[in-house]
Chains A and B, each alone.
Chain A
Amino acid sequence: MRTSRPLLPGLIEACHAVIVSNADHLGELDRAIGDGDHGTNMKRGSEAVYAERDQLGGLPLPEALEKIGMVLVTTIGGAAGPLYGTLLIEMGRGLRAAGSGDGVLAETLPPAVAAVARRGRAQAGDKTLLDVLYAVQQAVLKQSPPAEVAAYAMSAATDTIAMKALRGRASFLGDRSIGHMDPGACSCALLTGSICRFLEEFPSA
């Protein structure tokens, strides 16, 4: 990743587009096993980041990631705001500490995902967005091509359908949470897919 300038606004636009076009679907998933606000919350967050995309693109990448994380924390709300926010803030901090270089961004992922797990007090198999993050982390560390990373993410989200929720509102439903995809896992897989498609079209990044 040479410079954040052309790359980051494009990534933000891609993430914004996938959230806006899937907001209703995310809301439906959350209505089934939660409080129904995941679509509107994610849309609010992605619109806030989208509005600042040019300014964010002018920042060094570590600062930009941290700033996006803070915007997500304060605009998404719910439980997803702190989780997505923590992911990006920690990636930004990791990147700043590690300096620049090929593959450095990938190395920031495991500690950032671990921070998300601590924040949500969740682990693999709890039927949360972490189930997707772990799959993405594994694929990225294996240096899988973007299309493969996206496929792993979607398959991990699909795997949450059979799980019983152990964290969040959905856990109140017990066994009745089984049979529905976790909305956070879904948004995480959609975002991963969108980011991967974008990166494939811009291999120089």
Chain B
Amino acid sequence: MNTNGANVGIVIVSHSPLIARGTADMVRQMVGDSVPLAWCGGNAEGGLGTNARDILTAITSAWSEAGVAVFVDLGGAETNSEMAIEMLEPARARRVLICNAPIVEGAVMAAAEASGGAALARVVATAEELSP
């Protein structure tokens, strides 16, 4: 359990805004409003893509003192998430982890774990058990 009463936040980053939003819908269906949640995806022209600024905004809006677990789809989503985390102030950056897990299953399982008050490391570990 984390000790400050706040549940770990979940951020979903996909190249596709439809996938990111759909995954967030599935998380909400599972845990309601008990977990801070944000998603981002797509580029400035409405096409597919990811960028660090949108990810930073998502992390900030899903911020929890217990930390934030980030779920990504393909390469650029991960690299941009790393950049976004580095743009946070160091005290916050230490409390954001990118999960090596399938985006939909990982986010839903992590959110379920987070909704029970699990600490960030536990939330991430639960999701990462899905990866071989």
Contact = CB atoms under 8 A, between A and B. Distances in A.
Interface stretch (B3-11, B39-47, B119-127): B39-47
Interface in A74-91: 74-79, 81-83, 85-86
Q: What DSSP secondary structure best describes chain A's contact surface?
A: helix
Interface in A153-169: 167-169
Given A77-B76, A81-B80, A35 B48 contact: yes
A120 B52 contact: no
Given A40-B45, A82-B83, A74 B53 contact: yes
Q: Is the interface of B mostly helix, strand, loop or mixed?
A: loop
Contacts of A41: 43, 49
A182 to B, nearest CB: 14
B83 A85 contact: yes
A180 interface: no
Contacts of A78: 49-51, 76, 80
Given A35-B48, A41-B49, A77 B75 contact: no
A73 interface: yes
Given A79-B75, A79-B76, A168-B75, A37 B82 contact: no
A13 B40 CA distance: 32
Interface in B45-92: 45, 47-53, 74-76, 79-80, 82-83
When A and B form their complex, which 4 residue pairs have the shortest distance between CB atoms, in order from nearest?
A77-B51, A74-B53, A79-B76, A82-B79
